[in-house]
Amino acid sequence: MTEHLILILGACLLDALLGDPVYPLHPIRIIGHWILVCERALFALGLKGRLGGVIHWGLVVGMALGVWVGVRLGLAAIHPWLAWGWDLFIAYSLLCTRELLEQGWRILRDLDDLPAVRRRLSLLVGRDTEPLQRDGVVRATLESLSENLTDGVLTPLWTLCLFGLPGLILVKAISTLDSMVGYKNERYARFGWAAARSDDLIHWLPARLSVPLLALAAALLREHPWLAFRAAWRYHALLPSPNSGWSEAACAGALRVRLIGPVWRRGRLVTAIYMGDPDWPSELDAADLRRGLRLILTACLLAVAVGLSLAVLVPGAWPHSRP
């Protein structure tokens, strides 16, 4: 148990101090390359439907877990500390809380330079950023931060705490699969089914738990915790995803602002709805983005505390389940 807690704390501390490592052999890059290799091979064999997608899922997840186990066994044969260092490195590489927050801080820092922040925002969102004015940039940034709170922080962190590195590697492999093939277009509607459905499944509970987490963060910051609950219940279904609407709506309520607004993709207006009560402001500025960043940061710190508690208190949590 002590070893597991030190691993969690060490990975979180390295992420906080160093951020996401950038190098060609980053685990996510390797998984992404393997996804492409397997996809091309399966398509060449004519396996373009759901069966091919399930095989693709198994090949990717199996490779991710197999490489971790293989390297770990080799290092453990040399010295146990080398194996533990490998575990720490992988855990640190697969947590990206600092990177999420830094993206928001960079946009806040450059908010007066609209062309620059539009380019930076285009790396975070799938919409057209050219039409966005200052308020639209702030809304889109808050939406990205709150959505990725679940996908990028809560699910990976809590899975690591409960199920150890195998769980963390599994959810990161699934998330990478979904980001590459989980689309409802002609190529991936059937082939990406397994990736998309498994991604929905792994984030289902963390997405809903993000609501009380954001409400508690709002209470600590003297924002609007009860509006976080009400907004999440009332507005989460505005987004097509079964999960992302919960944290986005909770964030809107906690800050008492309206999010979404006009969204353009490939030059076409796809929605003009707002998430939030009609009397909440939608013309947001730097002060609102700063409040949002503090809210997300506080929620991340609370998530670490919750994760450590789960690792200690939940029966069967890793490593108690190991023989």
> What pLDDT digit, counting tens, does each position of 283-310 carry?
999 999 999 999 999 999 999 999 999 9
Q: Which residue has the tokens 């490592």?
A: 21
Alpha helices by DSSP H, 110-268: 114-121, 134-148, 155-181, 193-220, 225-235, 244-255
Q: What is the mean pLDDT of residues 195-220?
A: 97
Phi, psi of 264 (to 5 degrees): -110, 135
Please say whether the beta carbons of 275 and 258 come within 8 A.
Answer: yes
Whether 231 has a pLDDT exceeding 70, the answer reads: yes
pLDDT for 323: 36
Q: What is the mean pLDDT of residues 255-276?
A: 92
The enclosing H or E element of 89 equals helix 80-94
Q: How confident is the model at residue 318 (pLDDT cuts 50, 70, 90)?
A: confident
Angle between helices 80-94 and 27-44 (to 10 degrees): 80
Percent of the chain's residues with pLDDT above 70 = 98
pLDDT for 1: 67
| Range of lowest pLDDT (109-123, 158-172, 278-292) | 109-123
| 7 residue type, one letter | L
Could you tell me which residue, 273 or 316, shows the higher pLDDT?
273
pLDDT for 270: 87
pLDDT for 321: 41
User: Which tokens in the block code for residue 12?
Assistant: 């979180």
145 Cα distance to chain centroid: 9
pLDDT for 32: 96
Cα(44)–Cα(39) distance, integer angstroms: 8
pLDDT for 24: 85
26 Cα distance to chain centroid: 17
| 307 residue type, one letter | G
What three-state secondary structure class fits 127? coil
Q: How confident is the model at residue 207 (pLDDT cuts 50, 70, 90)?
A: very high
Write out pLDDT tens, residues 56-115.
999 999 999 999 999 999 999 999 999 999 999 999 999 999 999 999 999 999 999 999
Rounded mean pLDDT of the chain? 94
Angstrom CA distances, 85 to 27, 82, 185, 247, 320, stand at: 15, 5, 41, 34, 20
The enclosing H or E element of 98 equals helix 97-109
pTM, rounded to two decimals: 0.94
Rounded (10°) CA dihedral 127, 263, 140, 155: -70
pLDDT for 111: 93
pLDDT for 48: 94
pLDDT for 319: 67
182 Cα distance to chain centroid: 15
Percent of the chain's residues with pLDDT above 90 = 85
Please say whether the beta carbons of 271 and 120 come within 8 A.
Answer: no
Whether 268 has a pLDDT exceeding 70, the answer reads: yes
